[in-house]
């Protein structure tokens, strides 16, 4: 299992390559949640047979899923940072806000119908969590007892705007608690954690001109 420093070193290497103009496509890095993610992957026992669905900020998830760093780096250098799909590792992403949710839900439904043992883990940001498709996906999964866990990653930002300013007074925590109250008799689960970024929500923390 990778440790916190491994994740940080990978991020810093990508940042250096981007700053040198080696990466021509968009890159969205995150930090501040390394140890939390390591703990989550261990606590939830996310294994090779399980499916992980992620967002445009997917590098840490890919690394912890067991995808070799050199494969991830190669994709990033090809400009595919925001479309980091590795079917052979059951790992899929989408740069569309909320776009990965119905796909993850559909996979979970297929697993349930086939009575397979694999689980589905869908990572979403606090902005995506507020969208209608998130509500539909989560409620459908709870109601149909699907083997899926939604992990809400809250950095308090909806793209570059504070989430509270966009969505109002109802907090992300309150919404999570509502969904969690419905999962008592379901295989579906909703996890939540909050973290702080050291830089902007998107990019590598600085503007770069090529």
Q: State the helix-helix crossing angle for 100-114 and 132-143, rounded to 10 degrees.
A: 10
Q: For residue 191, give the 3-state DSSP assignment.
A: strand
**Domain boundary assignment for the chain:** 4-194
Residue/partner pairs of 174-178 with CB below 8 Å, 24 or more apart = 175/129, 175/130, 176/129, 176/152
For tokens 């507020």, name the residue.
130
Instruction: For residue range 28-59, list pLDDT tens digits in order.
Output: 888 999 999 999 999 999 999 999 999 988 99
Q: pTM of whole model > 0.95?
A: no
Q: Tell me if 75 sits within 8 A of 16, measured CB to CB.
A: no
Instruction: For residue range 56-96, list pLDDT tens digits in order.
Output: 889 999 999 999 999 999 999 999 998 899 999 999 999 88
Q: For domain 4-194, is the CATH number 3.30.420.40?
A: no
Cβ-Cβ contacts under 8 Å for 10 (sequence gap 6 or more): 59, 63, 69, 72
Rounded to an integer, the average pLDDT of 92-113 is 95
**Residue 158 pLDDT greater than 90, yes or no:** no
pLDDT value of position 208: 46
Cα dihedral: 83, 123, 11, 34 (round 10): -170
């Amino acid at each position: 299992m990778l440790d916190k420093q491994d994740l940080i070193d990978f991020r810093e290497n990508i940042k250096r390559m981007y700053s040198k103009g080696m990466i021509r496509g968009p890159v969205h890095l995150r930090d501040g949640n390394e140890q939390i993610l390591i703990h989550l992957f261990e606590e939830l026992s996310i294994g090779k047979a399980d499916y992980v669905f992620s967002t445009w900020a997917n590098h840490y998830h890919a690394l912890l899923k067991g995808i070799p760093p050199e494969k991830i780096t190669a994709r990033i250098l090809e400009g595919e940072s925001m479309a980091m799909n590795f079917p052979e590792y059951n790992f899929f992403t989408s740069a569309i806000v909320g776009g990965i949710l119905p796909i993850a839900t559909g996979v979970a439904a297929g697993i349930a119908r086939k009575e397979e043992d694999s689980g589905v883990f869908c990572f979403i940001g606090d902005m995506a969590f507020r969208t209608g498709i998130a509500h539909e996906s989560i409620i459908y999964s709870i109601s149909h007892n699907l083997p899926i866990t939604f992990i809400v990653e809250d950095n308090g930002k909806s793209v570059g705007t504070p989430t509270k300013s966009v969505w109002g007074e109802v907090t992300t925590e309150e919404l999570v608690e509502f969904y969690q109250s419905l999962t008592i008799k379901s295989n579906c689960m909703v996890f939540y954690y909050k973290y702080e970024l050291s830089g902007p929500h998107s990019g590598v923390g600085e503007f770069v001109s090529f």
